[in-house]
Chain A
Amino acid sequence: MPVPVFRVAGLTKVYDTGQIKVRALDGVDLELYEGEFTVLLGPSGSGKSTLLNILGGLDAATGGHVWFRDRELTGLSDRALTAYRRDHVGFVFQFYNLVASLTARENVQLVTDVSRNPMSPAEALEMVGLAPRLDHFPAELSGGEQQRVAIARAIAKRPDVLLCDEPTGALDSRTGVQVLEALKRVNDEIGTATVVITHNVAIRKMAHRVLRFQDGRLLGMEVNDTRVDPEEIDW
């Protein structure tokens, strides 16, 4: 029986811009499990990113509850959320978000500087296959390499959960596969619960569990009995 890492109950998020109210999440209930690779599917505006931001402590819910293991995240102070992110969560974004003025190693060091029990930046970059590119600046790396630096940066702290928002969205198929392989490797070897948002339906085949979203609601959930390797994914 899998152990839940996140429990979400009646989660709503409303963006109020004054003139219009947007319900980004509208009463979502779900569970995500330790060690699993989960894919969130859905069109733009379906609420996937909002959910990911709330799970990662980047955004606050309007209603409902979110638990990380036994701890309720909803209602935590800004300071407590910062500590939660620092100690438990790794993020990977679509546009890599590397600091341009820092090398690959230093971008990873940004994380290891503030974590409790990190691996060394070299070790983390090794895991994503970038050992030879340690001292290159982002501008000297390809898109796929930059995204792998971002993954190394996310996993260097040995996070309990790895949250990825469209990690392959800006990449071509070949570099996309390299990135997915890095993610799978982390999930397999360290057992980090991994949540990946994607538009690419094909990627669902490598997940343990797939959640579909539309209009801020959870449409359905499927569990893959057999998973395929990233290189077998057809883009």
Chain B
Amino acid sequence: MHALDRKLLRDFARLWAQALAIALVLGCGVAALLTSFVMYQALGDSRDAYYERNRFADLWATARRAPLSLLPDIAALPGVRTAEARIEGLVTLDIPGREEGAVGRILSLPASGEPLLNLPLLRSGRLPDPDATDEVAVNEPFARANRFVPGDSFFANLNGTRRELTITGTVLSPEFIYTIGPGAMMPDNEGFGVIFLPERAAAAAFDMSGAFNSLTVGLYKGASEPEAIDRIDALLDRYGGTGAHGRDRQVSHSFVSSELDQLWTMTIVMPPIFFGVAAFLVNMVLGRIVALERAEIGLLKALGYSNRMIAQHYLMLAALTAAVGILLGWGAGAWLAQGMARLYARFFDFPYLIFRGSWSVYVVAGLIGLASAAFGALRVALSAARLPPAVAMQPPAPPRFRRGATDLLMARLRLSQPAMMILRSITRWPARATMSALGIAMGVAVLSAASFFDDAMDKMLDTTFGLANRQDAVLMFAENRPEIVLDELRGLPGALQIEGQLVEPVVLRNGHLEKHTTLEARRPGADLSRIVGGSGRVIAAPPGGVVLAARLARQLGLAPGDTVEVDFLSGRRETALLPVTATIEQYIGLAAYMDFETLNALRRQAPQVSVANLTLDPAQRSGFHRALNGMPALAGTAMITDMRRSFDETLRENISITATVYIILAVLITVGVTYNGARIQLSERARELASLRILGFSRGEVSFILVGEVMVLALLAQPAGWFAGLGIAWAFTQGIESDLYEVPFVIVPATFARASLIVLLTALGSAMVVRRRIDRLDLVAVMKTRE
């Protein structure tokens, strides 16, 4: 081994604490990049493979009742490769041993056995016999949650008849990677199942012989989706078509896509912070090492070492540090990606997860880590190489301090000499002080941005459950019912308050912009389900107009005062032109709202309701559920109380995991910056500090200078950190916004306070660790050594 390489290794071993502090920050960058990118790739690849192998459809359409004879016409449309008709419907389920009702989504299986599109993947047992009337396959998560195995049975309310259905097998379907029931906000596999029923049995149950109410379509590559949608809509229109849509409005697909968007945002936003801070730390520490080794550099040059060899020597020191960071990052990244995969397995039902050629991702993450260390080291290494040898061997000139405006200020303030030393040092190296403060600010930013999710979720939950949805249960009718049905419900055991709501599927249009959504109407003064704006204001939709969710209005290019075209997709399919009376900020969903009487009048009908909202007496819960089992008109029940609890629990758990991760990340950044900063100061000031000790200053007074500078910088960093945190949080909200939800951009002051406290304590801790070295300062030795 060359002597210079040996010097390299020994220097590295001597600098281990500083190198490790840098390596940890760099490792965070590598790990963050790996985790989010590996998961992004895995989720995307698994989804694409699953879609491909199980022939995920391109278009979906529903109709009230269309004749099967229409199918060849649809199949013959330009661009259409496969068209498949099926029967689907929502039914209430009665599961033995379960008190509450459950909801099932029935999907018919063709008489030929397997569907052409959205092929279910058999996980256990077999598919039902096409001729059987009481055999079904169910989705695996539903079976697992209810501990069903093939051979078990449950009851379903099929078009008014209670029927016992026997499970022959469990399946997964590309249509249900994310399985969410009607009216639910997150998966509830126990209370919602997908039930695959043979076509003949389904036709009989839903009165659909020779007809279908659900259509799936596969398109040729390159076929125009909007054109196909228009043609299908034209064909289905007279059979009660509610409008075809592509994958973008398929619920499971849009949830998976929004998760992919989030991962991509993570990939873009987080790693650069760590790489940037690591590059700065490499620059700062290496700069100090080169300053200390001036004489050695001069010597190496005198011995005939070339500029390249010297630059390389210092670059290698940075590379070794980077290598440690990269190895740590690879390990942590692989571990975190596994953890993420387990988390995903709880929400997404994939038959397999594909981790493709991830080694290349490891290489790329490693190279980026190496590049950021090299970026930080390059200028220092070049300046070392460019030092003229005769100059290098002279001790450096003492830094030049000049009296300036700040000195006048300090004199005014009658600062003590140690305080003066602190402030002069900061003003003497403004670039380094600024970069250090920015580094610490990143720690604050990462923490505030992370806690932002907590605040945002609180706000979302508060608005959604505390203000907007205050009912305990929602009963969904299979068809709209006259409002008097609510009077019948008053007899339900435990029912306290009952309010009706009309929900109409519509297409809203403004010129060429259009959006499928629902138009909701409730009576003024409704108390259980309310329209809540961004500021928590409860709004009643005024008669004669439409209130739009602000995101929906933006997508349609509409503002209050404009006119929106409303196409009703059910019942009498009419079109109305209505003024937009207001827009409101809403976090979940993209809905439009109208006054109850106005909407019913517009539809020329006596008041009707689609759902009933109830509050319940908890003591009579069992009786309530038992009574519901006998109600034929119900398509489903959503227990908001349970939903609220499970939503809250899941979120709290996820947030506490992420909060821990982010606290670790922020602490590592802060330690990296402050520990190295203090070490460098101690190295630069050892003689000064020793001189002060000799002059009679106590250890405490001398430590004050060292710790003081770190803390002054840490304090100055706070406002910048808050701003950067706001920036990151804002970038997240932009990356995450989708049709499903919008994350409100709120950070409460306590979040900033907490982030600042954690970072300031960490900075103090790091400085105190370095301070211990002052105690061990050998006063005589320090004074004897030349620089």
Contacts and interface: CB of A to CB of B under 8 A. Distances in A.
A113 interface: yes
B307 A78 contact: yes
A110 interface: yes
A99 B7 contact: yes
B7 A115 contact: no
B390 A106 contact: no
A83 B296 CA distance: 18
Interface stretch (B112-120, B298-306, B518-526, B544-552): B298-306
A91 B393 CA distance: 12
Q: Which 10 A-B pairs have the closest CB atoms?
A: A86-B304, A109-B3, A101-B10, A59-B390, A110-B3, A85-B304, A58-B389, A97-B299, A58-B390, A106-B3
Name the residue in B299, B300, B301, B306 with the highest tally of chain A Cβ atoms < 10 Å from its Cβ.
Answer: B299
Interface string A109-133: 1110111000000000000000000
Nearest to A98: B299
Interface of A: 53, 56, 58-59, 78-79, 82-83, 85-87, 89, 91, 93, 95, 97, 99, 101-102, 106-107, 109-111, 113-115, 153
Given A53-B390, A110-B300, A82 B6 contact: no
Contact of B11 (A79, A87, A97, A101): A101
17 contacts: A58-B298, A59-B389, A59-B390, A82-B305, A86-B303, A87-B304, A97-B298, A101-B7, A101-B11, A101-B14, A102-B6, A102-B7, A106-B3, A107-B3, A111-B303, A114-B303, A153-B303
A97 B393 CA distance: 9
Contacts of B298: 58, 97
B388 interface: yes
B2 interface: yes
B295 interface: yes
B631 interface: no
A115 B14 CA distance: 28
A110 B2 CA distance: 7
Contact of B3 (A78, A89, A113): A113
Contact of B305 (A91, A101, A114, A153): A114
Interface string B1-16: 0111011001100100
A91 B14 contact: no
B403 interface: no
Given A93-B393, A97-B295, A114 B304 contact: yes
A85 B7 contact: no
Contacts of A89: 302, 304
A97 B302 CA distance: 11
A113 B302 CA distance: 14
A231 B720 CA distance: 69
Contacts of A106: 3, 6-7
Contact of B303 (A78, A91, A102): A91
B388 A59 contact: yes
B306 A110 contact: no
A140 B307 CA distance: 31
Nearest to B389: A58
Tell me the dominant secondary structure on chain B's binding face. helix
B786 interface: yes
A74 to B, nearest CB: 15
Nearest to B13: A101
A115 B304 CA distance: 9
B2 A109 contact: yes
Interface in B344-394: 388-390, 393
Contacts of B393: 58, 93, 97
Given A59-B388, A85-B301, A114-B305, 12 more contacts: A83-B304, A93-B299, A95-B295, A97-B295, A97-B298, A99-B299, A101-B10, A101-B11, A109-B3, A113-B2, A113-B3, A153-B303
B115 to A, nearest CB: 72
B400 to A, nearest CB: 13
A175 B504 CA distance: 102
B127 to A, nearest CB: 73
Contacts, number: 77
A89 B309 CA distance: 19
Interface of B: 2-4, 6-7, 10-11, 14, 295-296, 298-307, 309, 388-390, 393, 786
A166 B10 CA distance: 30
Contacts of B388: 58-59
Nearest to A78: B307
Contacts of A79: 306
Nearest to B11: A101
B293 to A, nearest CB: 9
A77 to B, nearest CB: 11
Nearest to B10: A101
Contacts of B2: 109, 113
Contacts of A115: 304
Contacts of B302: 56, 58, 85, 89, 91
Given A59-B390, A114-B303, A97 B3 contact: no
Nearest to B296: A99
A192 to B, nearest CB: 16
A140 to B, nearest CB: 14
Nearest to A96: B299
A93 B299 CA distance: 9
A230 to B, nearest CB: 25
A27 B66 CA distance: 109
A185 to B, nearest CB: 21
B303 A85 contact: yes
B3 A82 contact: no
A97 B303 CA distance: 11
Contacts of B303: 85-86, 91, 110-111, 114, 153
A82 to B, nearest CB: 5
A151 to B, nearest CB: 13
B299 A95 contact: no
B735 to A, nearest CB: 48
Name the residue in B10, B295, B390 with the highest tally of chain A Cβ atoms < 10 Å from its Cβ.
Answer: B390
Contacts of B3: 99, 102, 106-107, 109-110, 113
A114 to B, nearest CB: 6
A93 B300 CA distance: 13
B7 to A, nearest CB: 5
A97 B392 CA distance: 12
Contacts of A56: 302
A126 to B, nearest CB: 18
A234 to B, nearest CB: 29
Contacts of A78: 307
B296 to A, nearest CB: 6
B21 to A, nearest CB: 20
Contacts of B295: 95, 97
A66 B296 CA distance: 27
Contacts of B309: 114
A89 B305 CA distance: 12
A53 B303 CA distance: 13
Contacts of B307: 78, 82
Nearest to A113: B2
A113 B4 contact: yes
Contacts of B4: 110, 113
A99 B300 CA distance: 9
A159 B358 CA distance: 54
A76 B302 CA distance: 15
B392 to A, nearest CB: 9
Nearest to B9: A101
A82 B301 contact: yes
Contacts of B7: 99, 101-102, 106, 110
